[in-house]
Every structure is written in structure tokens, then in C-alpha cells.
Structure 1
């Protein structure tokens, strides 16, 4: 039972971690990784500083020990010199005392030299450790610099990816395969406009081909024909009146004085509009049809 519970717990943990990684912001994860690298780099720097500080402390202790050894050596030599001088002067008791003092200095000198040798060995190890620490800090600094450059590159790629995703969404919204949403696509709007235009054209064709439309065309044709006949009668009357005036004035009946047509038109009817000639032509054609 405990094994099953452990398996379920591990499965749920793995599933939760996977979902979290899918939903997590990549920028935040990159910043977290950089912060962790910086924290580790700071810890390494502090450790390297302690190693180098230990080396410097050993060097200071070695300097003091060297001074102590030098002082003990000088003291022992002075005691031996005093002992030799007292022995030369026949002062054996003083010579023995100086001899004992020199022996005591010599004992301390031996202990000091032994301690100095130990310090030198420790200092050599400290120097090697300091070199390793400096190298580790330099390597980690270069690694952190590379990670910062990688962070900048990844952020740039993320921005490009986001831009391409937006462009893809925009292109998908303009395509015909986009599912229906809150905002209609251009293809849907074009389909609606074309459908409306086609329906309007169909209604216009139906209205144009109906009985009322044909009756209206016949009425218009009849009106145009009557207008043309009336214009023809007016023109014939104008010609007859001009001939009578010409006979009275001694001119031949077939010749019309210059400007007579304009005078007659001014007395009888207003000048025809530019569209009257077209209507007259159409009316004469329509009027000739029933007579034939």
C-alpha cells in the first residue's frame, strides 16, 4: 500500500510539474536561472575570498615567525659570545649562565624553526588553493557572462516567436478556414456583400422583365411617336408659311429667305431641345411601323 501511495505521489508531482512548466512564463524562468547562477557565483567568490584570506593570514604569521627565529638566532649568538668572553675573563660561573641562556635560546629557536617549516608547508597548500579558487572564480565569471549573453539571445528569440505568433493569428483570421468567432472575417463579409448584390441584381432583372415594365416601355414609345408626329406637323406648317411669304415678296416658292426658319420658329414654338432630334428619330421609326 505504501508503495502505491508513493507511486501516486510521484505521478501527481510529475504531472503538476509538467503542467506548471507548460503554463510558466519563459522570461520569468530565465530570470530565475540567472539569479541562481549569480547566487552560486557569489557563494564561490566568498569561498575563494576565505581561501585567499587564509593564505594572507599564513603569510603574516610566517613573517612574525621569521622575525622570531631571527631574534632567537641573534639572542643565542649573543649569549654564546658573552659566554666566550666570560670564559676568557676567567669567570666560569658567568660563562656557564650565558651558556645555559644560549641553550634555552637554541631550544626556542629549534621550536620556532619547526613551526616555521610547518607554516611554509601550509602556505604552499594555501597558495595552491588560492590559485584554484581564483581560477574557479574566473571560470565561473566567464560562464555567468555567457549565460547573460544566452539570456539576451533567448529573450530576443521569445520576442520574435511572439511576433510570429501574432502574425500567424492575423493571417489565420484573414483566411477562409478560420472558425466563426466574435469578429467576422473579410471572407465572411465578402460573401455577405456578394450575396446581397446578387439578390439585388436578381430582383432588378425580375422587375425589368415584368408586364408593367413592358407596358411602361410601350407607353413611352407611344408618347415619343406622338411627339415626333407633332414635330413633323409643326415643321410642315413652318415650311408652308415660309413658301406663302416668299410668293408674296416675289421670291420663288421653293426658296426660303435666310433666317426665315428662325423667325418662324420664334413666332410659333420654342426651339426644340437637343434630345428632341433623338426622340424624333425614334418616334418616326415607331410611327412608320403601324402605318406599314
Structure 2
């Protein structure tokens, strides 16, 4: 029973963890996640550089120890030769005690030479391995540095694409809102356009109907009559002032017969009798 409960709890925990991760990924800001990824890469590169620096430092230390032992070998070799020469010289001169001492010193130098030579051989092997490890560490740092530079360049490109995506999403939302219904009490742009176009078309239709009515024709006749009377009044004023009114009078005379019968025609009785000629 406990095993079944434990498995159920474990499955539920995995499900909950997966759901939380999915929710987090859906709501997370890509710019922040990108900064986190770059920061992680930079941290890894820093650790790699520190490790490579330790390897290179080990190679340098091994090289310094090898150089120091090579110097010691050279000095011991010179001292051993000198001791051998001094022992030989003492033997030739008959100084047995000094010859014995120089021979012992030469043997001591020889023993130290053997030990240093063995240490040098060991240091040479260590130096070779340290040099190879140092070269590999340097190559790894250079390769990782190149990858990091590419990631930084890719970061700028992704940030630019992210800004473009946000701008495009804003434009899409704006265009969608122009044709979508915002609410029950807010009309869309298409609805407002249709309403305005309908009112404009109706106004044009009413105007055309009014232009074809009898009242509009009567107004046109009355306006023509007023224009004739105005021209006659102007001619009279010019005559009173002693101005040349020949052209204006002629225009008024020509316009008067055409307008006056139209204005007087409704009042004339229809008797059916012929009117006498003016001549």
C-alpha cells in the first residue's frame, strides 16, 4: 500500500514539475532568458580559463624546475672534473692524503650527478606532458572564446529579431482591432464607415429629388426676375448720374421681355380673344 502511495506521489510531483516548467517557459521573457544563457556561457568560459591557467602554470613551473636542475647538473659536472684533476695532481705529487680527499669529493659529486640526471629525466617527462596539456588548454580556451563571440553576435541578432517580432505583433493587434468588435457599446471602423456612407448617399438622393421639384423651378424663375429688376435699377441710377447707360439699357431691354411674361403669366385671364397688335 505504501509503495502504491509513494509511486502516486512521485508521478504527481513529476507532473506538477513539468506543468510548472511549461507555464514558466510560456510566460518567461525571451530577452531575460537570452541574457541568462549568455551569462551562463560567460561563466563557463571563465571557469575554463581558470582551469587552463592552472595547467599552463604547472607547465611553467615544471619548465623552471627543469632549467634549475640543468644548471645544477652543469655546476656538479664542473666540480666533479675539478675534483678528479686535483686528486690526480695530488697523486702525482705524492700527497696521498690529499689525493684520497679529492677522490672522495669527486665520488660525492659523481653520486649527486647521477641523482640529478635521474631527476632531470623525470622532469623532462613531466615537462613534456605539461606542455601537451598546456597546448590543449590554450586550444580549448581559444575555441571556446570563438564560440562565445559567436553567441554574443547571435544574441544581438536574436534581440533584433525579438524587437521586430514585438513590433509586428503590435501592428497585427492594431490591424485586428480595426475590424474586430471591441464591445457591444463600441462600433467598429467598418460600421462607422457604412453609417457615414449611408447618410452621404441619402443626402445626395434628397438633393437630386429637390432639384427636380416644382418648387425649385419656381425659385429659379423668381431669382431670374430679381436679377432683371436689379439690372433695371442699376440702369436708372446710371442715367441719373449722367453715365453712359447704352450698353446696360440694351442688356436690360433684351432680358426684360424674356423674364416679364413668365412673372406676369399666372395673373393674365384667359379670354380666348386675340390681342391687338402693337403696330
Q: TM-score range by the shorter chain?
A: 0.7 to 0.9
The residue aligned with 1:2 is: 6
- State how far apart, in whole Å, the 1-side matches of 2:198 and 2:112 are: 115
Listed as ranges, the matches of 1:109-124 within 5 Å are: 109-124=113-128
User: Cα 1:158–1:93, aligned 2, differ >3 Å: closer, same or farther?
Assistant: same
Q: How many residues align?
A: 236
Q: Which residue of 1 aligns with 2:178?
A: 174
Give the Å deviation of 1:93.
2.2
Superposition deviation, residue 193 in structure 1: 2.9
Aligned residues of 2:181 and 2:187 also touching (Cα < 8 A): no
Equivalent in the alignment of 1:281: 262
Residue matched to 2:71: 67
Q: What are the ranges of 5 or more consecutive residues in structure 1 without an aligned counterpart?
A: 209-213, 232-258, 263-270
Equivalent residue in structure 2 for 1:139, among 143, 152, 160: 143
| CA-CA distance at 1:131 after TM superposition | 0.6
**Cα RMSD over matched residues?**
3.5
Choose 1 or 2 for highest CA Rg. 1
Say which of 107, 125, 131 aligns to 2:111.
107
Instruction: Using the TM superposition, give the Cα deviation of residue 170 of structure 1 relative to its aligned residue in structure 2, in angstroms.
Output: 2.2
Deviations 1:96-137 (CA, angstroms, capped at 9, x unpaired): 221111111111111111111111111101110111011101
Report deviation, 1:197.
5.5
The aligned residue for residue 130 of structure 2 is: 126
Equivalent of 1:189, from 192, 196, 200? 192
1:89 to 76, 93, 104: 93
2:57 to 53, 56, 69: 53
- Deviation sequence 1:244-289 (CA, Å, 0-9, x none): xxxxxxxxxxxxxxx9xx8xxxxxxxx99x89965851662x5579
User: With structure 2 as the length reference, what TM-score do the two structures score?
Assistant: 0.72
**Structure 2 CA distance, aligned partners of 1:279 and 1:186?**
55
